[in-house]
Amino acid sequence: MFKSPIPILRSFDEQKAKEFYVGFLGFAIDWEHRFEDGTPLYMQLSCGECVLHLTEHFGDASPGAHCRIAIDNVPEYCQLLNEKHYRNARPAYQEMSWGTTDMSINDPFGNKLTFYALTQPSTHSGT
């Protein structure tokens, strides 16, 4: 009955958000919303089945959130990102003892994104 949640992440700078999420990570902008010119931006981004909301609105979200995003191939995505030579991140991945390959990246606003893939069958739900 449940559907996938949509994380809402705080941002403070539209240009930096687009440079990071679109230019570096490869997300697409689905839509942008402002109540009027000069007001904070709220936008939806997606990449494959992953959907994120970014908000500049005070009170919508706190900086420092952490979300885990399942992907098919962490080493391949890590290589793709590092080939872009983004000046603020050089991601690396690691094999975790609980059966995933993880790669964590901090966005320019203090939020942490961990991209992961299962490397062993999970023995519990929620991974």
The answer to the question of residue 111 being in a domain is: yes
Domain harbouring 50, CATH code: 3.10.180.10
User: What pLDDT is recorded for position 120?
Assistant: 73
What lies within 8 Å, CB to CB, of 55 at 6+ separation is: 8, 9, 10, 11, 40, 41, 42, 43, 61
**Assigned token pair, 38:** 């000069």
pLDDT digits (tens, 9 = 90+) for 31-69: 999 999 999 999 999 999 999 999 999 889 998 999 999
Domain range enclosing 54: 8-118
Please report which confidence band the pLDDT of residue 90 belongs to, taking 50, 70 and 90 as the band edges: very high
Q: CB–CB of 54/21 below 8 Å? A: yes
pLDDT digits (tens, 9 = 90+) for 94-115: 999 999 999 999 999 999 999 9
The answer to the question of residue 22 being in a domain is: yes
User: What pLDDT is recorded for position 99?
Assistant: 95
User: What pLDDT is recorded for position 83?
Assistant: 96
Q: What is the mean pLDDT of the chain?
A: 93
- Rounded Cα distance between 103 and 42, Å, is 26
Paired with 44 in beta bridges are 31, 53
Asked whether the predicted pLDDT for residue 123 surpasses 70, the reply is no
* Coil/strand/helix, residue 4: coil
**Which carries the bigger pLDDT value, residue 126 or residue 70?**
70
User: What pLDDT is recorded for position 127?
Assistant: 52
**Assigned token pair, 19:** 């440079």
The answer to the question of residue 74 being in a domain is: yes
Q: Which uninterrupted H or E stretch holds 32?
A: strand 28-33
